[in-house]
Structure 1
Amino acid sequence: MTISPLARRHIPWAWGATATLALILCALTLYPAASKAGVSGLDKLYHFIGFGALALPLCLAYPRRAWAVVLGVTAFGGAIELIQPYVGRGAEWADLLADALGALSAAGLARVLSRRR
């Protein structure tokens, strides 16, 4: 598989964006929750958007390896769910499902966008 010079220039940006988003997601999901106030179910939308945003840059940079990105992002979400009980938050299967669906949606969006190039 050959990578065009234009795509090669974007790879460091994709990794940088992904690392930055991963740090932000860690901070948001592992910081002890003060209360459970808020709209019910909105938490799942946040997971969907956050993990979709996490997957998108690398899915765009490596469209043929989007499946690996989705698996990696989902595993990252699973690790966060395993750690959350130790920081005073609850782990939920529904959160992990929202993470995976967000990553899958990002892979689909990246596929559509890469075909337009």
Structure 2
Amino acid sequence: MERRALHRKITIAALMFVVVTTIASLAPLDPGRSDKAFHVIAYFLAVLPVAFGSRQFRLPLACALMAWGVVIEVVQPWVGRSGNISDAAANLVGVLLGLGVAHFFRRNTRQ
């Protein structure tokens, strides 16, 4: 596959994950449930396309996604949800886990 086409597909996949994660982060939540695992999983999945993508964009886009995870928590009180630091931390953990898993696979699948 041509490199440019691959980068385009990776970008589209990452944007789709970010849009879905943003919508889910701003939707009403059952107040009695902890959602930390969902935060980790969502941001893990959101960073994977970026983490396997172009080396030059990997770190800037991962940092942008980490910042977005914090911004979402700041915005949540304006949409009827309660943002908190532990949710932001779970978002960051998801991004870091995704980067770590991608790094492990890239390193161990080189021929």
**CA distance in structure 2 between the aligned counterparts of 1:47 and 1:96, rounded to whole angstroms:** 8
Work out the percentage of aligned pairs sharing the same amino acid.
26
Q: Which residue of 1 aligns with 2:103?
A: 111
Q: What is the TM-score normalised by the length of structure 1?
A: 0.82
**CA distance in structure 2 between the aligned counterparts of 1:21 and 1:29, rounded to whole angstroms:** 12
Structure 2 residues without counterparts, runs of 5 or longer: none
Match of residue 36, structure 2, among 33, 41, 44: 44
State how many pairs are aligned.
109
Contact 1:52 1:102 in 2 (8 A): yes
Q: How does 1:5-84 map to 2 (within 5 A)?
A: 7-33=3-29, 35-38=30-33, 40=34, 43-63=35-55, 65-84=57-76
User: How big is the shift at 1:9?
Assistant: 3.2
Q: Which residue of 2 aligns with 1:98?
A: 90
Q: What is the TM-score normalised by the length of structure 2?
A: 0.86
